[in-house]
Amino acid sequence: MDNFLSIKDCSVEQLNELLKLSVDLKRFYKAGRQDLCLQGKTLALLFEKASLRTRISFQVAMTDLGGSSIYIKPEDIGGIGKREPVKDIARVLSRYVHGIMARTFEHDTIVRLTEYSDVPVINALSDWSHPCQAMADVLTILEHCGKLEGLKVAYVGDGNNVARSLAFVCAKMNMKLAIASPEGYQLDTDSIQIANNICPDTVVQTNDPKKAVAGANVVYTDTWTSMGQEDEKEKRAKDFKAFQVNAELMANAPADAKIMHCLPAYRGYEITDEMAESKNSVIFDQAENRLHFQRALLKRLLS
C-alpha cells in the first residue's frame, strides 16, 4: 500500500491488517508505551476545509510516533492549484516531507497530488469519500459488537462522501448496509454497484428510514449539509425532515442498536440531542478511534 485514497482500492487483507494494527497500537498507547517509528519523519497536512477530529488526530498521531507535522491552509500557499498547479505542489512537498495528507473539495485534487507525489498521499476527506472515517467506524463497531461480518448498518441521511466510504468498507468487511435517503439525495448507483461488485447484496437503498433501521446493529447518520453545500442548507433541512435519527425512529431498531455519527453533529437536524447523548450512542468512542486508526495508517505508510 503506497497511498490511502479509497477503501475500494485496498484489499481485504490490507484493511484487516490496518484494523489489527489500530487495535494493537491503541492497547500499546493506553498502557503508556510509545512506538517512535516515525522519528525524523514529517507529514504535511493540506486542508481546504475546516476540521477538528481529522487535523488534531493526525497531528497527535505524528507526535505520538516520534514525528512531526505541518498544517497548511490554502491561503498559506496562495490556494491549492491557484498560485501554482497541484502537480507542482505535490513535487515540491515530496522534496521536504515524508507524507502528504489532504482534505479537499474535489476528489480529483487528491488524485492529482498522488499522481505527482513521490511520498504517500492520504485522503483526509474529499467531496467523494472519507476513508479514514470509515476505518475508524469499523474499528468502533468491532469494539462494540465484537465482530463485523454479518452485521447490519443502517445509514439514515445524505448519500454523501461518508455514506460512500461506509458502503465500500461494509462490502470489504462482509457487512450489510441499508441506506435511507430522500429522493434526489441517494448514493449514486455507480458507487452502489462498486460495493455490490465487491460483495453481492451489500447495499440496499430505501426511502423509508424505519425499514432501514429494522434489525440494524448500528444506526449511522451524518450532516444533511456537507462542507461546500452551505447555500443549500435551508432546502436540505426541509427535504431531509423525515430522515432524522430520533427516539421515534430508534423505536423501530433493536433496543441495543448503536448510534454513530462521524461528527460534527447538528443537533435538531440529522440527530436529536437525546439520541446523540443516549446510552446507545458511541459517537465519542468513534471520534477517539480516528486517532487510533490514524496512528496505524501512518506507521504502515511512513515507517
**Footprint of ligand CP (CB under 6 A):** 51-54, 125, 133, 262-263
Query: Binding to ligand NVA (CB under 6 A): which residues in 115-154?
Result: 125
DSSP string, 148-198: -TT-EEEEES--SHHHHHHHHHHHHTT-EEEEE--TT-SPPHHHHHHHHHH
Is residue 222 involved in binding ligand NVA (CB under 6 A)?
Answer: yes
Is residue 72 involved in binding ligand NVA (CB under 6 A)?
Answer: no
Q: How far is the CB of 156 from ligand NVA (least distance, A)?
A: 14
Partners of residue 223 on adjacent β-strands: none
* CB closer to ligand CP out of 94 and 131: 131
Query: Which of the listed partners (ligand NVA, ligand CP, none) does 226 bind, with a CB threshold of 5 to 8 Å by partner kind?
Result: ligand NVA
SS3 assignment, position 95: helix
Sheet holding 218-221, edge to edge: 203-206, 176-180, 152-156, 218-221, 258-261
Cβ count within 10 A of residue 125: 27
> How far is CA 42 from each of CA 4, 70, 93, 99, rounded to the nearest angstrom?
17, 7, 11, 7
Residues catalogued as catalytic: 103, 130, 133, 222, 262, 290
Binding to ligand NVA by CB under 6 A, coded x per residue (else -) over 254-283, reads --------x---------------------
Query: Which of the listed partners (ligand CP, ligand NVA, none) does 104 bind, with a CB threshold of 5 to 8 Å by partner kind?
Result: none
The rounded distance, in Å, linking the Cα atoms of 38 and 238 is 48
Residue in 46, 52, 100 with CA at minimum distance from that of residue 78: 46
Query: Which of the listed partners (ligand CP, ligand NVA, none) does 160 bind, with a CB threshold of 5 to 8 Å by partner kind?
Result: ligand NVA
Q: How far is the CB of 117 from ligand NVA (least distance, A)?
A: 23
Q: How far is the CB of 149 from ligand NVA (least distance, A)?
A: 27
* CB closer to ligand NVA out of 81 and 157: 157
* CB closer to ligand CP out of 133 and 181: 133
* CB closer to ligand NVA out of 97 and 218: 218
Q: Enter the C-alpha cell of residue 235.
A: 432546502
Is residue 162 involved in binding ligand NVA (CB under 6 A)?
Answer: yes
Q: How far is the CB of 130 from ligand CP (least distance, A)?
A: 6
* CB closer to ligand NVA out of 262 and 283: 262
Question: Which segment (135-143, 173-181, 223-231, 234-242) binds ligand NVA by CB under 6 A?
Answer: 223-231
What is the signed CA dihedral for 170, 175, 180, 185, rounded to 10 degrees? 20
- Output DSSP code: residue 274: H
Cβ count within 10 A of residue 279: 7
Structural contact between residues 299 and 25, judged by C-beta atoms closer than 8 angstroms: yes
In the complex, which residues of this chain contact ligand NVA (CB under 6 A)? Answer: 125, 160-162, 222-223, 226-227, 262
